[in-house]
């Protein structure tokens, strides 16, 4: 491996990137699962795969996808979207089924993008407060974090929620971590990490990374999710209409975050989580190529390019 010193003179930038993706996770949906004959064609054994519970969907589909992933040799991380949970009884049944039938011990608890709750739960805090996640042996729980704010929640409410989640982690048997939406630039993420640490956050961060997709696809997803300051990365490129169908790679984002994690001992970011917005096959192939070190840094040290053909 070629030794490339980072601008600060601390360490090998290439190795920092490889280390940053050493244990990346990735996301799938029950809908996309129907189009993937076998996850083993794209993912390596043992990887953690988050399984969404999208608005208007049936949680049984999330369970079926999780069961399939388990059977194919992966570790599913089912999502629980609070506003889409009809009742406490159903929540308990789902948790028991995941534990007893699949041996699931890690889940993600989110509020969910639904204006009007279907049942009694309006937030992930309300889900966690039931005590059911502890009762059914969920030892690790991802909770939402918002590096660039949220269009649906005030900054004050976000801060209060994060403080509550930290306090809950102290009295729960589970280990909590922050799972974020995808972002496009490292600077807002780093500023957010430092700000929430200063406010008392102790939860590790699993940062969302956009997988390979066209600029147009990324823009559509970003607008729907309320992505904030880092959208300027996309909007600058989208001004050139000919670039809308260009596939964007998150190399600059990963390089900058990998350097931050390696060189700042106070960095709260622990893992990278890929959102395969342009398809799981290409995003996974790209991530594995990077993790294997099959890339070279660009001359300007503002990104890198694969040396492996991923098709």
Distance CA 18, CA 13 (A): 9
Mean of the per-residue pLDDT values of the chain? 90
pLDDT tens profile 179-205 = 999 888 999 999 999 999 999 999 999
Residue 1 counted as domain residue:
no
Mean pLDDT of 60-89: 97
Burial of 146 (0-12, 13-18, 19+ CB in 10 A): buried
DSSP codes joined into one string, 99-125:
HHHH---EEEEE--S-SS-SSS--SHH
Residue 307 counted as domain residue:
no
Distance CA 175, CA 43 (A): 26
Residue 42 counted as domain residue:
yes
pLDDT tens profile 37-63 = 999 999 999 999 999 998 889 999 999
Residue 306 counted as domain residue:
no
pLDDT at residue number 20? 98
Residue whose pair of structure tokens reads 């608890």 in the numeric block: 109
Q: Domains in the chain: how many in total?
A: 1
**The total number of residues written for the chain in this structure:** 311
Distance CA 254, CA 268 (A): 15
Distance CA 40, CA 62 (A): 18
Which CATH number is 280's domain given?
A: 3.20.20.220
In terms of Cα–Cα distance, which of 217, 232, 150, 146 is closest to 184?
232
Indicate if the pLDDT at residue 238 is higher than 80: no
Strands (E), the chain: 25-28, 48-51, 75-81, 106-110, 140-145, 175-182, 205-210, 213-214, 247-248, 269-275, 295-297, 304-306
Residue 59 counted as domain residue:
yes
Tokens representing residue 221 in the block: 């997803």
Residue 24 counted as domain residue:
yes
The reported pTM is 0.90
Residue 301 counted as domain residue:
no
184 close to 227: Cβ distance less than 8 angstroms: yes
Mean pLDDT of 274-301: 94
- Which range of residues forms the domain containing residue 135? 13-294
Residue 184 counted as domain residue:
yes
């Amino acid at each position: 491996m070629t030794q490339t010193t980072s601008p600060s003179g601390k360490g090998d930038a290439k190795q920092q990137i490889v280390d940053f993706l050493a244990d990346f996770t990735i996301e799938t949906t029950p809908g996309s699962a129907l189009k993937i004959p076998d996850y083993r064609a794209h993912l390596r054994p043992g990887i953690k795969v988050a399984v969404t519970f999208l608005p208007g969907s049936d949680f049984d589909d999330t369970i079926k996808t999780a069961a399939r992933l388990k059977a194919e040799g992966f570790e599913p991380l089912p999502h629980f979207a609070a506003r889409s949970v009809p009742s406490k009884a159903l929540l308990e049944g789902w948790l028991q089924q995941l534990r007893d039938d699949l041996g699931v011990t890690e889940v993600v608890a989110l509020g969910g993008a639904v204006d009007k709750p279907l049942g009694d739960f309006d937030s992930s805090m309300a889900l966690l407060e039931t005590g059911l996640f502890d009762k059914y042996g969920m030892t690790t729980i991802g909770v939402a974090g918002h590096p660039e704010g949220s269009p649906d929640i005030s900054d004050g409410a976000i801060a209060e929620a994060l403080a509550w989640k930290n306090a809950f982690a102290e009295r729960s048997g589970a280990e909590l971590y922050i799972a974020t939406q995808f972002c496009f630039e490292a600077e807002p993420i780093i500023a957010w990490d430092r700000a929430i640490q200063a406010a008392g956050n102790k939860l590790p961060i699993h940062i969302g990374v956009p997988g390979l997709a066209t600029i147009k696809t990324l823009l559509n997803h970003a607008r729907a999710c309320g992505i904030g300051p880092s959208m300027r990365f996309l909007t600058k490129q989208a001004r050139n209409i000919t670039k809308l169908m260009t596939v964007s790679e998150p190399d600059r984002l990963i390089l900058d975050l990998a350097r931050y994690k390696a060189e700042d001992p106070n960095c709260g970011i622990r893992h990278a989580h890929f959102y395969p917005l342009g398809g799981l096959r290409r995003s996974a192939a790209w991530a594995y190529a990077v993790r294997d070190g099959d890339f070279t840094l660009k001359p300007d040290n503002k990104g890198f390019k694969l040396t492996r053909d991923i098709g």
